[in-house]
Chain A
Amino acid sequence: MDSKFDSSNARKHEKIGFAALTALSTLTVLPIIAILIYIVIQGLPTVTWEFLSQFPSDGMRAGGIYPAIVGTFYLTIGTALFSIPPGIAAAIYLSEYAPDNRLTRIIRIAMINLAGIPSVVYGLFGLGVFVIFLQFGTSILAASLTLSIMTLPVIISTSEEAIRAVPQSFRLISISVGATKWETIRKIVLPQSLPGIITGIILGLQRAAGETAPILFTGAAFFLPQMPQSPLDATMALPYHLYVISTQVPGMPIQIQYGTVLVLLGFVLSMEILATVIRSRARARRKW
């Protein structure tokens, strides 16, 4: 055999290359896995039923984190309420109706920029507009609205992408058998893009649920002896509670901090997993 065509050297190089790539990609997930394992080990003993169902006591150095859990739940529901309807409406408008002109280009650019704004800026914006100008006070309402504005770009862009992914031929067929544009959207486009839209919503809400800065000035309370009675009350929330017990309370037992981190992570991760499951199940079912 002519040695010029001997490819064993090239194959050896390929093997080394692949090995290096594998090692590097393993390296990137390693810290995340290490952190997760560490937090689970440190936090799990603390997370008991009492921890999840009781109010904090002894200046938050003991007791549970029940009001923070419920508060984060309220804020997530509120954010969903204010961000999902306008988010989907905007996505439908941008993908199905909007002409390609200067106005829609400006909207798109604005959205990309919105997604890049630091979250503390949203917090200050919420303080100025919702808390002070609209006089909602530091409340669940004001915090939810602030989080909604932060979540909207995520929901809009993922929903728009999901809607655009529905083949154009479906729309043509639907129109050709006598559907209006809106009927086509309602009966074909939205049902087909729903898994993608839901995924986007969950990812957006999950980010909102974990944020501290936007609720810092708009609705989060240091400590409340009772549960919020209305949307105009302030609330405790997991990420802010974590910030408080990590920095503001002297003599804080480290176990409670790890327990709180674990609960917050569990909340956020379970939403993430839900989104992944919905997405992969829809993908398996889809036939186009």
Chain B
Amino acid sequence: MVIQTEPTEIILIKDLSLRYSDGNESLRNINLSIKSKAINVLFGPANGGKSTLLRSLNRLNDLTDVNQLTGEIWFNGQNILSSEVDVIELRRKIGIVFSRPVVLPMTIFENISYGLILAGMRNRVQLKERVKEALEQAVLWDEVYDRLDTPAADLSGGQKQRLCLARSLALKPEIIMLDEPTSALDPVSTTNIEDLLQRIKKDITIILAPHNTQQAARMADYAAFFLQGELVEWGEGPQIFGMPRNKKTQEYIEGRYG
């Protein structure tokens, strides 16, 4: 049995800078590596660039007005910022869950099969299997297995967010990014999601932008502290939250600002 001591990098971000058309510089010179099969936490005060970074990793920023983008993001041996990259395929490999649990206006089943059908899966049996698998992975199956054909809009907030997670997981992505996934949820639902992330991280790389420092500290295998578009410090979670090297990081963790 091989015991992996050194975690591998799945994404390498080099000198990434990004500026939106409205003049706000969102990211400045980011150098960061995302570790495979671990929870990578991006934390810091609002407008620090966490969401922008997430949206760059699966090119959702293509939909926004970005007028300056420099640097490289390496994933699976290619720079995903290059124009030759198949962004559709990229988005299937790097899924995202947003803070507001938005379900598509369809049934629970259709919400999850939507991405699969787009990816070319037509076989009904295969679809059913994959939907079940995704719902089980997101710990939602037991609550919804008897009403898969009812509108997803009828679910509770916490259930919706797990459905969103299942929708991403169904595509069997290599990475799942979560942008403040529990900010709209109650404490019980939050715990559910956190437990669930701890369980799936052995199979899938997780990039999490928590909405508070406590969650960041609880969840981080690796952590990166963002402040006003700059990456201040990054390293292993216990080190960042136990003995941060940078004064700004320390002050933020102690709650002096933010």
Contact = CB atoms under 8 A, between A and B. Distances in A.
A178 B119 contact: yes
Contact of A175 (B60, B89, B167, B171): B60
A171 to B, nearest CB: 8
Contact of A173 (B88, B92, B104): B104
Interface string A249-288: 0000000000000000000000000000000000000111
Report whether over half of chain A's contact residues are helix, strand or loop; otherwise say mixed: helix
Contact of B105 (A175, A176, A177, A287): A287
Interface in A185-202: 187-188, 192
A288 B114 contact: no
A172 B63 contact: yes
A187 B110 CA distance: 11
Interface residues of B, number: 25
A187 B114 contact: yes
Interface string A161-176: 0000001011011111
A173 to B, nearest CB: 5
Interface in B72-112: 88-89, 91-92, 95-96, 98, 100, 102, 104-105
Interface in B30-63: 58, 60, 63
A177 B91 CA distance: 6
B95 A170 contact: no
Nearest to A180: B88
Nearest to A188: B104
Given A169-B100, A192-B105, A177 B118 contact: yes
B92 A177 contact: yes
Given A178-B88, A178-B171, A180-B88, A172 B98 contact: yes
A192 B105 CA distance: 8
Best-buried of A177, A188, A288 by chain B (most CB within 10 Å)? A177
Interface in B151-174: 151, 153-154, 164, 167-168, 171
B171 A288 contact: no
Interface in A173-226: 173-180, 183, 187-188, 192
Interface of B: 58, 60, 63, 88-89, 91-92, 95-96, 98, 100, 102, 104-105, 114-115, 118-119, 151, 153-154, 164, 167-168, 171
Interface of A: 167, 169-170, 172-180, 183, 187-188, 192, 286-288
5 contacts: A170-B102, A173-B98, A178-B115, A178-B119, A179-B118
